[in-house]
Amino acid sequence: MSTLEQEIERRIAREVAAWQKQVKGKGEPTKIDEGWLQTPEGLRMPFRVLKNAGIPPQEIELFNQRARLKEEISNTQDTALRTQLLKKLSALEQVLAFRLEKLRQMGRG
């Protein structure tokens, strides 16, 4: 193995060690809360890893979009715009329902 390859391996090992020291919750037992219990068993650890990395599941953004759309619908007086927003909300809720069902199926498998 060349000196360059050895140096690259040393740097990678050093960076990995530094990263592992700063991992949040390392060595601590997993906190079991209501969200943990509602998550399908097969998805709990992958979601925990994503959460610890600061990456929320895409479904969270879909829930946020739905809340914003509902707020916009309740504040809209224009019936044409309201109809358009209701269609958009309906499509979003279908996407969300399909994604949640797929997650349930994946969690069982």
What's the pLDDT tens digit per position in 36-52?
788 878 888 888 888 88
What's the pLDDT tens digit per position in 52-68?
888 888 888 999 999 99
* Structural contact between residues 57 and 47, judged by C-beta atoms closer than 8 angstroms: yes
Q: How confident is the model at residue 108 (pLDDT cuts 50, 70, 90)?
A: low
Report d(CA 30, CA 98) in Å as an integer: 29
* Structural contact between residues 69 and 85, judged by C-beta atoms closer than 8 angstroms: yes
Residues ≥6 apart with Cβ < 8 Å to 59: 96, 99, 100, 103
Q: What is the pLDDT of residue 9?
A: 93
What's the angle, vertex CA 54, arms to CA 49 and CA 56, rounded to 5? 80
Q: Is 0.75 surpassed by the pTM of this model?
A: no
Q: Which residues of 6-32 are buried (b: 16+ CB within 10 A; e: fewer)?
A: eeeeeeeeeeeeeeeeeeeeeeeeeee
Structural domain spans, the chain: 1-106
| CA 90 vs CA 69, 75, 85: distances in Å | 10, 17, 9
